[in-house]
Amino acid sequence: MTVVFQRTKGLTDKQFHYCPGCTHGVIHRLVGEVLEELNIVGKSIGVAPVGCSVLAYDYFNCDMHEAAHGRAPAVATGIKRTRPDNVVFTYQGDGDLASIGTAEIVHAAHRSEKFTTIFVNNAIYGMTGGQMAPTTLIGQKSTTSPEGRDLITTGMPLRVAEMMATIEGAVFVERVSVHNVPHIRKAKKAIKKAFEVQLAGIGFGIVEILSTCPTNWGMTPVDSLKWLEQNMIPYYPLGNFRTPEEVR
């Protein structure tokens, strides 16, 4: 029998703990495939965040380092500066990266640290039970915005990719989504490009990936994908914000 599809060598055999319909599994798989295809599993060191993907260190088949909430870019800086020949990436959610860890991600980008950040934006704090994130949409209900997020008291949702694109050191910035197969393919291309930027030693790269949270959004997995497409993409437009000449 011919094997036409199998688990990527970039991931371990461990079963994911993610909720049904959550797209963390898809994104993990994409990162794993990219590590395998670029033949860098053995030289990669990943930094896991705090949040739903806190156990990412169990899933990626490379050396992994857990970080405190928001601090992954600082930990990754410590690793990459001491081991410039290794491939280093952080995997962070929006509570982690866009709230408590804004200083760390902004300054890692500002210094153009030569690692790659996978930023999963599902517009809510998932692990702690569905609280409002900086990325929660106006009107979106969460456990700490029970009447829906309002602009006057909480401000507008933070657009991370656009913010990063204003930083010179962020040499690769792209926002993608994983709500359907064509976009999953595009997401993989962006992730691959971001790692290639690191391999070329150019500077900091970040891929923002729009993701779902059926459990805390209170929707079925299918409705979640539709909600992402209809509500998140209009506010968080997809596309490449910056790519260095060398890897175009």
Asked whether position 12 contacts other proteins by CB under 8 A, the answer is: yes
Q: In the structure encoding, which two tokens stand for residue 233, read together?
A: 């993409």
In the chain, where does DSSP find H-type helix? 24-37, 56-59, 72-82, 94-95, 102-110, 151-154, 160-165, 181-199, 214-217, 221-227, 233-235
The yes or no reply on residue 117 touching other proteins (CB under 8 A) is no
Closest CB 12 distance from other proteins, rounded Å: 7
Does position 58 bind other proteins by CB under 8 A? yes
Query: In this complex, which beta carbon is closest to other proteins, that of residue 81 or of residue 185?
Result: 81
Query: Is 206 an interacting residue with respect to other proteins (CB under 8 A)?
Result: no
Query: Please, what is the minimum distance in Å from the beta carbon of residue 78 to other proteins?
Result: 3
Contacts of 93 (CB under 8 A, 6+ apart): 49, 51, 52, 53, 119, 120, 121, 122, 126
Q: Which of 31, 35, 76, 97 binds other proteins (CB under 8 A)?
A: 76
Minimum distance, C-beta of residue 60 to other proteins, in the bound complex (Å): 7
Any residues with CB less than 8 A from the CB of 151 and at least 6 apart, and which?
138
Report the C-alpha gap between 42 and 50 in whole angstroms.
24
Stretch that binds other proteins, among 63-71, 126-134, 222-230, 232-240 (CB under 8 A): 63-71
Taking the C-alpha atoms of residue 107 and residue 119, their distance in angstroms, rounded to an integer, is 16
| The one among 30, 31, 74, 176 contacting other proteins by CB under 8 A | 74
Between 57 and 236, whose beta carbon lies closer to other proteins?
57
Binding to other proteins by residue 128, rule CB under 8 A?
A: no
Nearest to other proteins of 17, 226 (CB atom): 17
Q: Distance between terminal CA atoms of the chain?
A: 39
Q: Show contacts with other proteins in window 85-114 (CB under 8 A).
A: 86, 103-104, 106-107, 110-111
DSSP annotation of 168:
T
What distances in angstroms separate CA 67 from CA 14, 33, 48, 56, one per listed residue? 20, 23, 6, 11
When asked if residue 199 is in the footprint of other proteins (CB under 8 A), the reply is no
Single residue of 31, 35, 62, 158 touching other proteins by CB under 8 A: 62
Q: Which is nearer to other proteins, 30 or 106 (CB)?
A: 106
Q: Kindly tell me which residue out of 71, 114, 188, 192 binds other proteins, with binding defined by CB under 8 A.
A: 71
Length of the chain: 248
